[in-house]
Every structure is written in C-alpha cells, then in structure tokens.
Structure 1
Amino acid sequence: MRKFGAGVAAVLAAAGLGLVAPGPASAATYCDITWGSMAKADLDWSSANVTNVRTGQQPCYDRLVIDMTGKVAGYAVQYVPVITQDATGFPIPVLGDADLQVMVTAPSYNQYNQPTYEPAAKAELSNVSGYQTFRQVVYAGSFEGTTSIGLGVRARLPFRVFTLDGPDGGSRLVVDVAHHW
C-alpha cells in the first residue's frame, strides 16, 4: 500500500511540475458553411412593420435580425456595388470591403404614417466593433412599403437568409454572414 501511495504522490508531483503532458486540446469549431454569396429573395407583400434592428455574434457567422410586428412575407438580400438610400437612390458609404443590401417588404411606419422604427443614429444601427465579419449597419430608409438596411462586411462572404416566428404574433428576418468561406 505504501508503494501505491508513493506512486500517486509521484504522479501528482509530476503533474504539478508540468512533466505530465496535458490532454488533447479541444478542436476548433467546424463551420459547415454551404450558403454561397448570390442574391437571395422571396418577394411577397407583408402586413408587418419593422420595429427593431439588432446584431449578434456566433462562432461561425455574424447575425443581423430585423424584428417585425406581424408575419414577414418578402425580402431581397444581395451584394451591391454601393448601398443606396430608398426613394432618392443617393449612395450611402459604409465601412468594409463588400456591401450587402437588405430589403424587407415591411415599412418602418404604420398605416397612419407614424414611425414603428426610428433609429437614433441612421449611420450606426448597431455597434459592431469587434465583430469578425460586420463592419457597419446603416439605415437606408423606408419607402412605399419596403425598408432597406445596408450592411458593410469585411469581404464578399457567404450568407443565408431566413425568417423566424417571433413573440406576440411578430416575426424576424435573419441574415447570417459567415466569417470564412
């Protein structure tokens, strides 16, 4: 028994001195991204209204979420040479090496022309400093039943678009942009 105790003590001492090799490091997150970077659209008209725009970070992608009252029915998301302002067509400069225009067929105002989403800073809807892919999120306007958001990204990277049901009968348009190809 004394030899067993001495052996355990020796192993513990070796581990404390760093003589015993640590176990294998955990593997890096594998991102099976197969989305592509071509335009994605589902054009239909909606009775929803935009109420908020927010962002988040995930291990494999950065996420943009547009919250709405009611069911979102239509959207168009694509890389463009420059983000343009709704109605005027004026260019909106954004940070990053690629510009992703996000258009949803839901206005940022109600039937009485009162705003349902009125960003405090149109040039920075969400603070994305420190994100791997996003560089800037801008409000490009709301006109004739559609709302546009400009997303400046690090490079032309794969993205996906989908909708989710939200609380209280609302919905969300989600745009995920991958960190890498």
Structure 2
Amino acid sequence: MRRLTTAATVLVLAAGIGLTGTAGMANAAPAGTTAGAACPTGWGSADKSSEGHEYRVLKNIRTGSHECYDRIVFDLGSAASGLGYRVGYVNEFHQDGSGDLIPVKGGAILQVYVNAPSYDASTGQRTYPGRGRQPLPGVDLTGYRTFQDTKFGASFEGQTQVAVGVRARLPFKVEQVGDKLVVDVAHSW
C-alpha cells in the first residue's frame, strides 16, 4: 500500500511541475506570441542577393506584422523566377542617382534593391506611386514590433530602391514567391 501512495504522490508532483512549466513558458513568451510558437532562427543579418536578370514592373509594396517577424512584400504583377535583388544593412540611406542622404528612423537601416522599376519602360507610366525621400504610400507601421520607418529611394536604371528602418540589426530572410519578393525581419535573435 505504501508503494501505491508513493507512486501517486510522484504522479501528482510531476503533473504539478508540468503545469507550472507550461504556465511559466506562456508568461515568458514574447508579446504577441503564444507559448507554442517556435520562431525561426539562423537567418543571419548578412547581405542576401540574387544575380537574376529578369525585370518585372513594381505594382505595390505592402507590409505585415506576424508572430515572429515583420514582413515587407514587393508585388511584381507577374512571376519572377529569375528576379535580381540585393538586401542588406547600411549605415546611411543614399538615393540612387542623386546620392542625396535620406533620413530613416530606427536603430538600423535595411536597404532593398529589386530589379523592378516603378514605371512601365515602354510607356513611361508609373506603376507604383512611390516618391523619392517619402514614406511608402499606404504603409502604416503602427503597432509593429520591428519595423519603424520606410522610405522610397528611387526607381533608377531598372531597379527600385527602398529603405526599411528597423529597431536593431536583426536577422532577415529573402525569398521569391511567385510574383512577389518577400523580406522577413525577425523580432529578435
């Protein structure tokens, strides 16, 4: 009988520790995440690029805030399997063509070049309403954990240049998904 009582005590204690551990994890989870959320790691903060030489026309730029990262998406209007891009941190954001310094708020500046002009080269018509030195049209970063600012640099010689002001130099990843270039910046290391 004593063995049965000891075994029952051990089970009750183990269950109590398990509940305490789960509650502790929920309290330790970053704001906006759930206890079960596992944020990706290992993206790194080094420059990322693709040497693709396909050009697409930029249609839109939009952002989203997710559990583990903030995202900026470049909508290109058609699939871009060989799209060229360069994404990396810079100390200052200088406008292509003029070289003018464009102030960007945040602890670090992520510069994005995408081989997609904001105009139709055959007609000269604008396909995206971004203006040099200005925030990205339609992008509201209220409530974002990582993104603090956006600025349109230029659309020059077939490339569009954009800056994203982030809280700090954080890991990021870049991927092409159909007709989109997607840049995710993690909330933390």
> TM-score over 0.5 for the alignment?
yes
**Is 1:132 aligned to residue 162 of structure 2?**
no
Tell me the SS of whatever aligns to 1:69.
coil
> Which blocks of at least 5 consecutive residues in structure 2 are unaligned?
1-18, 27-34
Question: Greater strand percent: which structure?
Answer: 1
Q: Distance in 1 between matches of 2:79 and 2:97?
A: 24
How far the C-alpha of 1:32 sits from its partner, in A, is 2.7
Inter-CA distance 66–122: structure 2 relative to 1 (3 Å threshold): farther
How far the C-alpha of 1:122 sits from its partner, in A, is 5.5
Contact 1:98 1:152 in 2 (8 A): yes
How do residues 3-18 of structure 1 correspond to structure 2 at under 5 angstroms? Answer: none
Q: Which moved more, 1:148-157 or 1:116-125?
A: 116-125
Q: 1:153 aligns with which of 162, 166, 174?
A: 166
TM-score (norm 2): 0.77
TM-score (norm 1): 0.80
How far the C-alpha of 1:120 sits from its partner, in A, is 7.1
**Is 1:119 aligned to residue 130 of structure 2?**
yes
**Is 1:93 aligned to residue 87 of structure 2?**
no
Q: Distance in 2 between matches of 1:121 and 1:28?
A: 42
Q: 1:64 aligns with which of 59, 72, 80?
A: 72
Residue type at the aligned position of 2:60: N
Residue type at the aligned position of 2:47: A
| Bigger radius of gyration | 1
Percent identity of paired positions between Structure 1 and Structure 2:
44
Contact 1:66 1:172 in 2 (8 A): yes
Residue type at the aligned position of 2:162: I
What CA deviation, in whole Å up to 9, does each residue of 1:26-50 have, x standing for no partner? 5252213110000000022223100
Q: 2:113 aligns with which of 90, 95, 103?
A: 103
Tell me the SS of whatever aligns to 1:149.
strand
Give the length in aligned residue pairs.
Answer: 156
Partner of 1:143: 156
